[in-house]
Structure 1
Amino acid sequence: MHPDYSAHAAFVSPARPRAEAWRLIAGLIMATVIYIGLLQALDACVMIVLGDDGYFDFRTMLETGNSPAGTLYLLGSFVCMAVAVSAVAHQLHGRSPLSLLGPPRLALRQGWRVLRVNALIFLAIWLLPPAEWSADLVPQRPFGDWVLLLPLALPALLIQTGTEELVFRGYVQQQLAARFKATAVWMLGPALLFGLLHYRPEAGANAWLFIGWAAAFSLAASDLTARAGTLGPAIALHFAANAWAILIYSQDETLSGLSLYHQPIDLADADTVTPLLLVDLGTLFVSWLAARLALRR
């Protein structure tokens, strides 16, 4: 049975007046340039405030990635990307940045429904983990300290996940769907781009597994966006997945500063990585189905 993507037409309609392919390509280039420029400006401000010695310590903290301040900075810096894509939507395509989101109130209601069911799924995983899953977990910080960080960590995580959805499911998916009718184009295009941007060189031959997982996540998020007609469900799905991977237990050393637990793994070890990614794919599938049930679509 063909998916019910009737809501997608209204979601895409703001992009139709200026849907030329060259605008999308130019827009991605412009957004990248603006994003890099804003990051450099932010970095310069930090240097001025901290001074030479403080700035050196700050850069070291970011590179190690296991401090709360460093992780908060990395997540919060995604606001530069949000500003960049919003500027491109307004200046190059002549439309409101809010049109990337869809109707805000509807997006909020739909996102809340999806977030609730996904929170229950991850809570069940946390409370009923297989023994082999929990054996290698290393406590990252005391529970009380972790709770105190949540008022900062949750908004920072929302900035990161919301911005990525604005770019890939908002800007890229909308512009492709406004130009091309084929579902494969506007779903596979963002998936390919999203997957390639999750390339992990340190994973060696396993890098394609991470690309494939990210592409699969993108397809699920694109499907929910097309069914709902807003980014609310995709942001909620993304937020729940990243909250689990960044705030609860982290396998990524560069983003472990806010996690309650850390699971050190060798990304280049296929015997370790493959089973974990298969479990993640299964969790993604269940989360996607639960989101559809919450949306009744």
Structure 2
Amino acid sequence: MRYAAHDVLIEPARPSAQLWRLVLGAALIVACFFAMGYSYFNILAEIVTEDHWPSLADEIDHGSTPRGMIAILGIFGLLTLSLLVVINVLHQRRLRSLFGPPAKAAQDFTRVMVALCALGTLLWLLPEPEAMTPTPGLPILRWLSLLPVSLILVMLQISAEELAFRGYLQSQLAARFNHPLVWITLPALIFGILHYDVETAGANAPVMALSAFVFGLAAADLTARSGTLGPALALHFAINVSALLITASMGRNFGLALQIYPFTLDDTVARATWLPYDFLMLLCAWLAARLAITR
């Protein structure tokens, strides 16, 4: 399969396409992110009083309150900073080269977001299974007051992940290997493995990792087809806004949600209900995004 538009993202990666640079770069990004993350949480611990830190640490661990979720999402800015430093020093690339042409990236993002909003409205009108009927989360006025900050933080989070996986890893691999099987599958596989979380999902951890892997394939395809990060950013943003801000699962990362599903991610009984629903939504969203960028 030939993705002609993808060349726009591959060209800046060609001068530094050596495999050792990519492996070293990925290792340095992870090391910098963990080092700065360690400092980040230590600074938080110093800011709050000693008496309040244990409760805040628990809120961060479970994402059970707005301030806990704000702390979790805020750390992804450090991933972008780590990426910026490494690609500049090791690859002599600028961060903007990972996005593609800015005007087209913005246009693609907007088109896909419009399509996904229309799809979301249609799905909202359809009845959900009874087992997925949500309960109230944050009070509506508090949710609305936090929404501007929440949206910015979700954008910060998904931008960091897309820049790392679809921007950096995908373009550097594509500059080294011609076959899409390598540069589409490998970043998606790593993305899926990093979402394998037994502590949160229990026996559902393999399914959650598979879902993240399939999303990675969809995002990689959209990036290659458009030649920008815009569509992948829109798809990721729409999914995470829905899962973190609109209706979240109880037990983990529900602190900013307006509604909460009555099951946790490790619920193997509920899995039979929500898993097909999630995969069908992802399929529809990917198809809607493809139609939006080919108009």
Match of 2:290 among 289, 292, 295: 292
With 35-44 and 180-189 compared, the bigger mean Cα shift is at 35-44
For 1:272, the equivalent position in structure 2 comes to 270
Asked if the contact 2:10–2:172 (Cα under 8 Å) also holds between the matched residues in 1, the reply is: yes
Give SS of 1:102's match. Answer: coil
1:252, distance to aligned residue in structure 2 (A): 5.2
Q: Which residue of 2 aligns with 1:35?
A: 33
Residue number among 205, 208, 214 corresponding to 2:212 in the alignment: 214
Structure 2 CA distance for aligned equivalents of residues 151 and 249 of structure 1: 17
On the 8 A contact 1:157/1:239 being kept in 2, the answer is: yes
Distance 1:119 1:259 in 2: 18
Alpha carbon RMSD of aligned pairs, Å? 1.6
Alignment partners' CA distance in 1, 2:267 and 2:74 = 31
Identify which of 217, 237, 253 aligns with 1:255.
253
Equivalent residue for 1:54, pick from 52, 55, 65? 52
Deviations along 1:218-247, whole A, 9 cap, x unmatched?
A: 000000000011101000000001111111
The runs of 4+ residues in structure 1 deviating greater than 6 Å are none
- Of residues 174, 177, 188, the one that matches 1:180 is 177
After superposition, the C-alpha distances for 1:133-160 in whole angstroms (9 at most, x for unaligned) are: 543x111122222111111100000000
For residues 108 and 176 of structure 1, the distance between their equivalents in structure 2, rounded to whole angstroms, comes to: 24
- Report the counterpart of residue 156 of structure 2 in structure 1: 159
Deviation string 1:44-71 (CA, Å, 9 cap, x unpaired) is 2222322322333321221232101111
Instruction: Structure 1 unaligned segments of length 5 or more: list them.
Output: none
**Cα separation, 1, equivalents of 2:13 and 2:143:** 42
1:118 corresponds to 2:113: no
Counterpart Cα distance in 1 of 2:164 and 2:20: 17
Instruction: Report the identity percentage.
Output: 39
Extract unaligned runs of 5+ from structure 2: none
Instruction: Tell me by how many angstroms 1:265 deviates.
Output: 1.9
What does 1:55-70 correspond to in 2, within 5 Å? 55-70=53-68
Q: TM-score, normalised by structure 1?
A: 0.94
Matches within 5 A, 1:125-204: 125-132=123-130, 134-135=132-133, 137-202=134-199, 203-204=201-202
Residue 191 of structure 2 aligns to which amino acid in structure 1? F
Instruction: Name the CA distance, whole Å, in 2 between partners of 1:76 and 1:16.
Output: 32
Is 1:16–1:178's contact at 8 Å kept on the other side of the alignment? yes
Secondary structure at the counterpart of residue 254 of structure 1 = coil
Equivalent residue number for residue 77 of structure 1: 75
Name the SS of the counterpart of 1:255 in structure 2. Answer: coil
Query: Number of residue pairs matched?
Result: 294
The verdict on how the C-alpha distance between 1:175 and 1:40 changes in structure 2, with shifts beyond 3 A counting, is same
Q: For 2:156, give the aligned amino acid.
A: I
Which amino acid letter does the alignment assign opposite residue 233 of structure 1? P
Superposed counterparts of 1:75-114, under 5 Å: 75-114=73-112
- The 3-state SS of whatever aligns with 1:253 is coil
Q: Which residue of 1 aligns with 2:239?
A: 241
The residue type paired with residue 154 of structure 2 is L
Q: 2:285 is matched by which residue type in structure 1? A: S
CA contact (8 A) 2:115 2:292 kept: yes
Distance 1:52 1:266, change over 3 A: closer
Q: CA deviation at 1:211?
A: 1.1
